[in-house]
Every structure is written in C-alpha cells, then in structure tokens.
Homo-oligomer: A and B are copies of this chain.
Amino acid sequence: MITNLLQGKKGIIFGALNNKSIAWHVAEKAHAQGARIVLTNAPVAIRMGTITELAEKTGSEVISADATSMKDLEVLFMRAMEIFEDKIDFVLHSIGMSPNVRKGIPYAEISYENMLKTLDISALSFHRILQTAYKLDAIREWGSVVALTYVAAQRTLAGYNDMGDAKALLESISRSFGYIYGKGRHVRVNTVSQSPTATTAGAGIEGFDSLVDFSDRMSPLGNADAADCADVCITLFSDLTRKITMQNIFNDGGFSSMGMSQRAIEQYRKSFDECTDK
C-alpha cells in the first residue's frame, strides 16, 4: 500500500553501513513514503559497507562525514540544504561504537580514554548534530529528529559494557536538546529503543545469540527487527506525531514491560533437566 506519509519531506540519515543496518531500512522506507534523502556515514564505514548501493536504490547522494567533527557536520548540513534547495524535515541518528567492547576489555578494567571515545561517538555525536542544525537553522519548524537506542540505558546487560552508559547519555541528550529545540523552533527529538537486532554492530556483543533468543521468548510479539524499527521511525518523521517529544519509544515486542513470560520460563526450566551436564 502506498501511503506517501513523507511526501515532499527531506531527511538526513546517519549510520547505514549495509543492508542489515536499521538506518538502511529507514532510508528505504522513507524513500518509499515519498521522502528525499541524503545518506551519510564516516569515511571508514562508507569504505567498509555498501552504502552506494542504497544511494542508487533511493536516488540519494552520499556525503561523507565524521559525526565527531563539527566541521564535517556543518559541511554536511550546508550541502544537504543545497541539494534539497530547502531545509531538512527529519534526521536519523544511528551511530554507536565502543572501543572497550571492540577490544574485549571488561567493564571493570576499561580505559577512560576509550570510554570518552565511546561517549563521544555514540552520544555526543547526537548533540553535535543537533547543535549544528540548530546553529544553521537547518531543520524546518515541526521537523523531527530520532536517535536509536537500547534498553541497556535503563537496565544492565552483562557484556554490553560502556554502551549501556553511552545509551543512557544519548537518551538524556535527546531530552535536554529536545527541550531547547522544541521551545525555540518546534522541532521534536525522540529516541526509539529497539529489540536486540542482528546488525553488524549488534553481533559484536558477547553472548548476543542467547540474549536474542531470550528476548524473543520474553516478548509477547517477539523481537522487533530492523524493518519494524524503520516503520516506527516513519511515524515519528510524519506529521502525525507532532507533539511527541523528549520521549523514548520502546519498539520491542513488549520486552521492556515484561517481568517473565511463560515461553521464557518454560525454556529456562529445561536447563534443569537431569541429563544436562552442569
């Protein structure tokens, strides 16, 4: 069904690496809903991934930008407005990386140089994007900005390391700047907290497969996948959610509101069956 929910809107999408990326799905769905898009990612991610394929499919330009560089971000927003001959309507932030996770350094032994990098890349980058857009007055009134996050911001997950802290910081920045951007320019800022998703980034988390299985059995609707997440982003970019701001929307099949499901506890119970070796 063609609904044209984003007809005439222009957006910048950060963080599409390959077709497993949530940002990839958002770009495809936004395009299908009538939006024009500029894609951006860090130079290294552009080289490693397949973003040009996405650009072709969606008729988009790719602009390389390091989201921790104010200069890159300024050039990006300026260039995007040139391309669109217009202001921006929506922005997606899907950026996260922890050197501590990558190097397998346990949370109780982390390097603070690494942790500051985790926070800078995964959370301050969102502030940088918002500050750049705000300074350039690049986002149209009633525009919408979304960042992707995870329940680790609220609840600790073994192995998720300093990414949980980075997501908590990201969500706080979303509220803090959401206040500024809301009162000043009627732009809304929200986060979407997604089920564990088998992206290239997600696969780096220790014990990820068991977690995904558990999460799926705990969630009455099962885990949400990248396409589900993209759908929710479309609603947040549309004009139908103009007064939702400074919120964290869980798109997780119900996981965040579950204490224990029958399916998960039944599976758990099997772990005590006699023939298992413990």
Contacts and interface: CB of A to CB of B under 8 A. Distances in A.
Given A155-B257, A164-B176, A182-B254, A268 B220 contact: no
B270 A267 contact: no
21 contacts: A1-B4, A108-B177, A115-B124, A116-B120, A116-B124, A155-B257, A156-B175, A156-B179, A156-B246, A181-B220, A195-B243, A220-B246, A224-B243, A228-B243, A243-B251, A245-B257, A246-B254, A246-B257, A268-B268, A270-B276, A273-B277
Contacts of A275: 273, 275-276
Interface of A: 1, 3-5, 7, 70, 107-110, 112, 115-116, 119-120, 124, 127-128, 130-131, 134-135, 151-160, 162, 164-165, 168-169, 171-173, 175-184, 186, 188, 195, 207, 210-211, 214, 219-224, 228, 231-232, 234-235, 238-247, 249-254, 256-263, 265, 267-271, 273, 275-278
Given A131-B108, A220-B178, A156 B269 contact: no
Q: How many copies does the complex hold?
A: 4
Nearest to A192: B244
